[in-house]
């Protein structure tokens, strides 16, 4: 009887310790800052709600360093789609939680986040459908939609500069998915905001959206960005170094932008990005059994033809990345675990296998602090690997 009680006691102690570890690893009760004053400057989400961000104050030796994360949330290129998004958390801050919990690269646990644990961390809410690039002056009376993502970016940066970012020693502009593309587009502009900082670099997480015009779904990828550029009037805001050479909508594909970026940039990617595969690379016969959706959800059920399409995506991604990797200022970490995004769950930060003897944590830290040249690409696996849970 006593041994049974002791076993139960030991079990609960272990559970408590695990819970404590999780609590320490995450930053709880991170409060939202809603910039109501920005509305007077015309900066607003699709539905007219104010821009917002979550802020974790830095401390100790990191109190003068800043990491600004641009959330992702897709794009919209029509009244119908933008109205739909405006009623979700990707197009509005009305229903954003007053507090959030963050971990991974935002964690204040040095064991989990050794290089940035004591930095000022800002997570900027995504709510414009244009990767923080649009600036349409008129509000459409038919839809009542506001398309002013660039103004959102500008007012948030103004607020952060006033909070102390103007005196930063080190700073990173980061972003995931559509926010990762926004990071690439805003990278050089961000650098000019902090001219006296020792280091300013950019980190794009799952933001390298591949063109791959010879692979299935090329028309889907091209039309999606063409509609976004037209609807949000982005042509005049995209880099002239790109738009002077090609159709403006093609300048939403990072492979056509990165060569002209002067600020150091890190690309964090899965060679089997599940979002791109499921939404942007739909093959000619998506209703085959198993369906393409079933295949991307569980690679074990894919047909040989479907697996080859997935391998072709990987090969095209790696080929494209190698074509732009001739600059030492470009860092890379490309693994073979199927997922999209790495900063919002432990599976994408601490639990992925190493590439080239580096973890994601090591690779980003080494690159930012110039501890070595970092361009790690998994060339050993040409098929998706069984890793942590997909995201």
Question: What pLDDT score was predicted for residue 289?
Answer: 77
Q: What is the pLDDT along the chain (391 residues), one digit of tens a residue?
A: 455 445 444 544 444 333 334 444 466 789 999 999 999 999 999 999 999 999 999 999 999 999 999 999 999 999 999 999 999 999 999 999 999 999 999 999 999 999 999 999 999 999 999 999 999 999 989 999 999 999 999 999 999 999 999 999 999 999 999 999 999 999 999 999 999 999 999 999 999 999 999 998 899 999 999 999 999 999 999 999 999 999 999 999 999 999 999 999 999 999 999 999 999 888 876 667 789 999 999 999 999 999 999 999 999 999 999 999 988 889 999 999 999 999 998 888 988 999 999 999 999 999 999 999 999 999 999 999 988 654 4
Segments forming the whole domain that contains residue 34: 27-273+327-377
Sign of CA dihedral 233, 236, 237, 240: positive
Q: Which of 115, 128, 273, 378 is catalytic?
A: 273
Give backbone dihedrals phi and psi of 207, rounded to 5 degrees, phi first: -110, 5
Q: Give the separation between CA 316 and CA 326, rounded to whole angstroms.
A: 17
Is 181 within a domain? yes
277 near 270, Cβ under 8 Å?
A: no
Structure tokens at 83: 């109205």
Catalytic, 31? Answer no
Torsion of CA 102, 103, 109, 112, to 10 degrees: -170
For the chain, the first-to-last Cα distance in angstroms comes to 45
Q: Which of 86, 107, 131, 177 is catalytic?
A: 177
Q: Which of 211, 232, 340, 342 is catalytic?
A: 340
Contacts of 381 (CB under 8 A, 6+ apart): 271, 336
- Cα–Cα distances in angstroms (integers) from residue 143 to residues 9, 82, 132, 311, in the given order: 60, 9, 20, 42
Cis peptide before 290 (omega within 30 of 0): yes
203 near 194, Cβ under 8 Å?
A: no
Catalytic, 188? Answer no
Is 133 within a domain? yes
Residue 121, domain CATH: 3.40.50
Is 125 within a domain? yes
Residue found under tokens 């030991």: 10
Contacts of 310 (CB under 8 A, 6+ apart): 272, 277, 295, 296, 299, 302, 383, 384
Is 109 within a domain? yes
- pTM, rounded to two decimals: 0.91
Give me the number of domains the chain comprises.
1
Question: What pLDDT score was predicted for residue 286?
Answer: 61
201 closest CA partner among 114, 329, 72: 329
Is 129 within a domain? yes
**What DSSP state is assigned to residue 355?**
B
Instruction: Return the ∠ at Cα 159 (arms to 104 and 204), rounded to 5°.
Output: 40
Is 17 within a domain? no
Question: What pLDDT score was predicted for residue 23?
Answer: 42
Q: How many CA atoms lie within 13 A of 63 on its CB side?
A: 3
Q: How many CA atoms lie within 13 A of 363 on its CB side?
A: 27
Catalytic, 4? Answer no
């Amino acid at each position: 009887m006593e041994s049974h009680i002791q076993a139960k006691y030991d079990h609960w102690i272990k559970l408590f310790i695990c819970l404590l570890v999780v609590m320490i690893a995450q930053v709880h009760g991170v409060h939202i800052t809603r910039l109501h004053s920005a509305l007077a400057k015309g900066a607003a989400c699709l539905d007219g709600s104010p821009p917002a961000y979550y802020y974790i104050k830095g401390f100790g030796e990191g109190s003068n360093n800043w990491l600004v994360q641009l959330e992702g949330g897709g794009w919209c290129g029509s009244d119908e789609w933008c109205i739909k998004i405006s009623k979700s958390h990707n197009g509005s801050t009305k229903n954003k939680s007053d507090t959030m919990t963050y971990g991974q690269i935002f964690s204040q646990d040095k064991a989990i986040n050794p290089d940035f644990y004591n930095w000022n961390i800002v997570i900027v809410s995504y709510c414009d459908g244009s990767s923080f690039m649009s600036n349409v002056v008129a509000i459409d009376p038919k839809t009542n939609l506001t398309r002013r993502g660039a103004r959102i970016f500008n007012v948030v940066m103004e607020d952060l500069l006033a909070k102390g970012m103007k005196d930063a020693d080190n700073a990173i502009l980061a972003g995931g998915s559509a926010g990762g593309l926004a990071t690439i587009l805003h990278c050089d502009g961000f650098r000019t905001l902090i001219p006296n900082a020792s280091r300013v670099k950019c980190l794009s997480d799952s933001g390298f959206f591949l063109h791959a015009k010879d692979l299935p779904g090329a028309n889907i990828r091209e039309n999606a960005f063409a509609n976004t550029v037209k609807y949000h009037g982005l042509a005049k805001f995209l880099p002239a170094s790109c738009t002077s050479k090609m159709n403006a909508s093609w300048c939403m594909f990072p492979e056509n932008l990165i060569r002209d970026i002067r600020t150091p940039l890190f690309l964090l990617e899965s060679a089997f990005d599940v979002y791109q595969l499921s939404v942007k690379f739909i093959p000619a016969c998506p209703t085959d059994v198993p369906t393409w959706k079933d295949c991307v959800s569980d690679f074990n059920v894919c047909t040989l033809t479907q697996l080859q399409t997935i391998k072709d995506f990987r090969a095209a991604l790696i080929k494209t990345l190698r074509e732009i990797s001739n600059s030492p200022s470009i860092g890379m970490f490309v693994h073979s675990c199927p997922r999209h995004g790495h900063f919002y769950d432990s599976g994408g930060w601490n639990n992925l296998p190493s590439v080239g003897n580096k973890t994601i944590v090591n690779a980003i830290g080494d690159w930012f602090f110039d501890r070595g040249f970092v361009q790690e690409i998994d060339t050993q696996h040409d098929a998706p690997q069984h890793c942590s849970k997909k995201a």
